[in-house]
Amino acid sequence: MRKDDKKQLINSLTQQLEENSNFYLTDIAALNAEDTSNLRRLSFKNGIQLVMVKNTLLRKAMENVEGKDFSELYPTLVGNTAIMFTEAGNAPAKMIKEFRKKNDKPLVKGAFIEESVYLGDEQLDFLVSIKSKDELIADIIALLQSPVKNVVSSLQSGGNTLTGILKTLSEKES
């Protein structure tokens, strides 16, 4: 690979690392062509960008990114590495878990999710359980709405009861 090509690839990776706050480093080396193609299709279907990278170029791109510290991921940059860029932090973990029902790979080398680093394949179950930003916002809204719904419900049911009592009392006096 020419020096210019390497420079261009490093710049492209740097830009992707700056734009994405969630990515996974995986090992898909032992997958045959058919399984790799199936993984790529599944990635595309789930909105995950799967890219094979050279470790040295990825490390240089990581070093170029300002404001993010990827140094904990450097030891994982050995062997074959594929990087999965995603919007939702748990999407690749869910996809990998589903894909591994039929295959041994991909293995998770590491993940960078919203400024946090997770190392090793044993983190997969935890990564599946991580909620995305949108899921957390939905949970907070549901929690905030719950007490209001209870108060409104009580007022509505209490209003019907009070009306019934008043009506009965007014009819009794006549």
Task: State what percent of residues in the chain have pLDDT above 90.
Answer: 1
Task: List, for residues 130-169, the tens digit of each pLDDT value.
Answer: 777 777 788 888 877 777 676 666 656 655 566 666 677 7
Report the pLDDT value the prediction gives residue 135, as an integer from 0 to 100.
Answer: 76
Average pLDDT over every residue of 28-57? 88
Q: Tell me the three state secondary structure of residue 1.
A: coil
Task: List, for residues 71-89, the tens digit of each pLDDT value.
Answer: 888 888 888 888 999 888 8
| 123 and 152 share one domain | no
Report the pLDDT value the prediction gives residue 164, as an integer from 0 to 100.
Answer: 66
- Is pLDDT larger for residue 143 or for residue 13? 13
Give the residue numbers spanning the domain of 75. 3-130
Report the pLDDT value the prediction gives residue 124, as an integer from 0 to 100.
Answer: 81
CA distance 62 to 144: 40
E strand map for the chain = 22-27, 49-53, 81-85, 107-113, 116-119
| 43 and 78 share one domain | yes
CA distance 12 to 6: 10
Reference 127, options 29, 43, 25; nearest CA is: 25
Q: How many C-beta atoms lie closer than 10 Å to residue 41's C-beta? A: 11
| 75 and 21 share one domain | yes
How many residues in the chain?
174
The total number of structural domains that make up the chain? 2
| 46 and 109 share one domain | yes
Reference 91, options 23, 137, 37; nearest CA is: 23
Residues paired with 24 in a beta bridge? 84, 111
| 36 and 106 share one domain | yes
CA distance 49 to 51: 6
| 12 and 74 share one domain | yes
Report the pLDDT value the prediction gives residue 67, as an integer from 0 to 100.
Answer: 83
| 163 and 114 share one domain | no
